[in-house]
Amino acid sequence: MQLLEWSEKCSVGIPELDTQHRRLIELLGELMDRVQAGDGDGSVAAALKELSRCAESHLHREELVLRVRGYPGYAEHKAEHDTYREKLASLELLADRPDFSVRLTNYVIEWWRFHVLTSDQQYARFFRGQSTTE
């Protein structure tokens, strides 16, 4: 499981969203530490809860920014966010299974790594291109 680390290649060029991505990356790191330390379900559950709060607030905000700025790939991007929401909701149904925390952690770490570096970069490229032609 490869953890995402903040670097310029994560930047989407929108300070507010970059700040949220940085925080999410930090939380993913904390979550992985707690899972690896096996320090008890209470602390992993708290990390997952905080991640899920920040994640939802970020996804919602990013959707708003993309919509307001008229991003042509909005529907597709929103669908990716919705897939994440649905997958998380379905994994939460398995909360009483012993491997629950590990499965959920693996999924969120992989999802955010791909999403921030690939999908979010697609809108970042679009807006960067727009600002050079304006």
Residues that bind Fe ion (CB under 5 A): 62, 120
In whole angstroms, the minimum distance from the beta carbon of 42 to Fe ion comes to 29
Angle (nearest 5°) at CA 81 between 31 and 79: 160
Give whichever of 31 and 44 is closer to Fe ion, judged by the CB atom.
31
Give whichever of 100 and 120 is closer to Fe ion, judged by the CB atom.
120
In whole angstroms, the minimum distance from the beta carbon of 24 to Fe ion comes to 8
Token pair belonging to 82: 């919705």
- φ and ψ at 50, to 5 degrees? -65, -40
In whole angstroms, the minimum distance from the beta carbon of 77 to Fe ion comes to 6
Contact (Cβ atoms closer than 8 angstroms) between residue 101 and residue 47: no
In whole angstroms, the minimum distance from the beta carbon of 128 to Fe ion comes to 16
Instruction: Please state, as a whole number, how many other Cβ atoms lie within 10 Å of the Cβ of residue 27.
Output: 20
Cα torsion for 9, 13, 19, 21, to the nearest 10°?
-50
Give whichever of 111 and 120 is closer to Fe ion, judged by the CB atom.
120
Give whichever of 21 and 34 is closer to Fe ion, judged by the CB atom.
21
